[in-house]
Chains A and B, each alone.
Chain A
């Protein structure tokens, strides 16, 4: 268990060239001991690089990493005492399940009795106790992945367990159960869990805190609720939530008023200091209300399409050329053709130059 801090860490895979391209741009971060984190971002945004820097598989070209205040930047992976679970389960084919689980302890020269005890304990937590004497190759993919995880759990002193899209190979039903298992393990062992994924649902349901990355930069750190309600940039708005956040080009008209074309909207944000001309009004489709009459904060729209998802209806509409989507209750009778959409003022997010005001 340790508090992990990244100080001015940046990494480029070819640091010697002129204008090196950074897979991970300079960042300062600290991970709370025992926290449950998700790193979320599209493919190639630097998630895995960040993870490998923490586990020591990659030495960052700049900056330092500290575990509990101790600089470990140049320490080897084994010395760091970290566990990592990869996208594809890694098992030792020639060993049994028990030997697999005990391997990290064996490599650290623990006495035999301690190994057996710890292995039994971990097997019980993971539900593998009946498989201990089976050869590891006989297991299914999800059991193999549990072993990969178990190898991290046998060592009580691991600083953190890093997971790189660990549930990709596992089918949806098991995914759900494993995710719950992971949460339980986090509560039981109080180990820091860092979970890399590109699947927002996975991140949202698993983590207490989510770190959103894009192009090697950390865009926002926050709870699932914060990410959903107040995305810090338009990227986060697009990336998180399904469908993506509605973004409409707007102009500032007053202290807390913006306009889209001729329609003015009151927002909950103080806009008096914003200078930029690149203004967008963002609103989650969950918060858009559908009306058949004009009222405050309403915009006229033309409804193109209504999709019934069973538990809600997704209304796709247009104001001029800009598309707006609204999730409405399935009991609501959606008018065909022209209608009005209301953006409640406390739900409106105003973005200046793609950044939340």
Chain B
């Protein structure tokens, strides 16, 4: 395979790759070593100063990162459990199977930002219908302005929005499972519980891992929900990494510093998702 012109043919693809991936990442790295902000715009060189600032005295970023980890792990776990349950429900022959399958997908088809606005109205502490109802029992929970409840609200909205995605992937997985293991299990006398533990779950492990990883990647980008629902508040109670980076970069215009944040965030995500994927494979497939 010594074909002289191969680079010529690879060149356009490489050009696109450089334009949309390699250059932006490289530029971010370079930018992160500058002090570019709205007062002193320009690509100067300050070495690793931004990184020292990040690692030494920016606890807000690390708190945001911790919050993000908590939110994404919680939402994805809930989505997985609910999605799996819903998928199992409409997997077997039940009445109105088609209707339920479509119904469960609707949240995913809606626009996240708009749905979040609706959820925000829903959870509005003095005007929303949720508290209208809870007032009957004399409760008035602060859905959006309590430090703990605001996280719960974000989780509810995220779970509502993205469980259908999990449901879709897991249902597709269930529908593609072979029949024989189930026949064998029923011949061996396994009840529904044992059948699930020893047949369905192990067979679904590969697709589960795929679905969980996809959702984790998506969930760690969480931004629109937080932006619309709480704007990271109260205080920084629901502020996540991407939202914090957004504040630093596009509100305070500290481009240099936010580039350092972005790059650090990228590295951490790559490493942690790789580890998570490995752990999941170890836990669920156990070969």
Contacts and interface: CB of A to CB of B under 8 A. Distances in A.
Interface string B245-287: 0000000000000000000000000000000000000000011
A132 interface: no
B184 A86 contact: yes
Interface in B66-90: none
B180 interface: yes
Residue of B178, B183, B184 with highest tally of chain A CB at under 10 A: B184
Interface stretch (B27-35, B144-152, B161-169, B189-197): B189-197
Nearest to A81: B189
Interface residues of A, number: 24
Contact of B188 (A86, A94, A103, A137): A103
Residue of A76, A95, A107 with highest tally of chain B CB at under 10 A: A107
A54 B189 CA distance: 16
A107 B202 CA distance: 18
Contact of B184 (A76, A90, A94, A135): A90
A83 interface: yes
A107 B194 contact: yes
Contacts of B178: 88
Nearest to A137: B287
Given A107-B191, A137-B287, A92 B198 contact: yes
A151 B194 CA distance: 16
A82 B187 contact: yes
Interface residues of B, number: 18
Contacts, number: 54
A55 interface: yes
B181 interface: yes
B202 A78 contact: no
A90 B185 CA distance: 9
Given A92-B198, A94-B286, A95-B198, A107 B180 contact: no
Contacts of B191: 107
Contacts of B189: 78, 104, 107-108
Interface in B97-121: none
Contact of B180 (A82, A88, A95, A135): A88
Interface in A82-117: 82-84, 86-88, 90, 92-95, 103-104, 107-108
A90 B180 contact: yes
A143 interface: no
A93 B202 contact: yes
B199 interface: yes
A83 B286 contact: no
Nearest to B183: A57
A353 B188 CA distance: 46
B59 interface: no
B186 interface: yes
A122 to B, nearest CB: 14
Interface in A111-152: 135, 137, 148, 151
Interface in B176-233: 178, 180-181, 183-184, 186-191, 194, 198-199, 202-203
Nearest to B190: A107
Contacts of A151: 184, 188
B187 A94 contact: no
B136 to A, nearest CB: 48
A10 B56 CA distance: 80
A86 B194 contact: no
A77 interface: yes
Contacts of A82: 187
B287 A86 contact: no
Nearest to A92: B198
Contacts of A84: 183-184, 187
A97 to B, nearest CB: 14
A88 B178 CA distance: 10
A55 B187 CA distance: 8
B187 A77 contact: yes
Given A84-B184, A86-B183, A103 B202 contact: no
B200 to A, nearest CB: 11
Nearest to A52: B183
B184 to A, nearest CB: 4
Residue of A55, A57, A92 with highest tally of chain B CB at under 10 A: A92
B184 A148 contact: yes
Contacts of B184: 84, 86, 90, 148, 151
A94 B186 contact: no
Contacts of A103: 188, 190, 198
A11 B139 CA distance: 62
B180 A86 contact: yes
A207 B188 CA distance: 25
A297 to B, nearest CB: 52
B198 A94 contact: yes
B188 A107 contact: yes
Nearest to A95: B198
Given A57-B186, A84-B184, A107-B190, 18 more contacts: A55-B187, A78-B187, A82-B187, A83-B187, A84-B187, A86-B180, A88-B178, A90-B183, A90-B184, A92-B199, A92-B202, A93-B202, A94-B202, A95-B198, A103-B190, A107-B188, A135-B286, A151-B188
Interface of A: 55, 57, 76-78, 82-84, 86-88, 90, 92-95, 103-104, 107-108, 135, 137, 148, 151
28 contacts: A55-B187, A77-B183, A77-B186, A77-B187, A78-B186, A78-B187, A82-B187, A83-B187, A84-B183, A84-B187, A86-B183, A86-B184, A87-B180, A88-B180, A90-B181, A92-B198, A92-B199, A93-B202, A93-B203, A104-B187, A104-B188, A104-B189, A107-B189, A107-B190, A107-B191, A107-B194, A108-B189, A151-B188
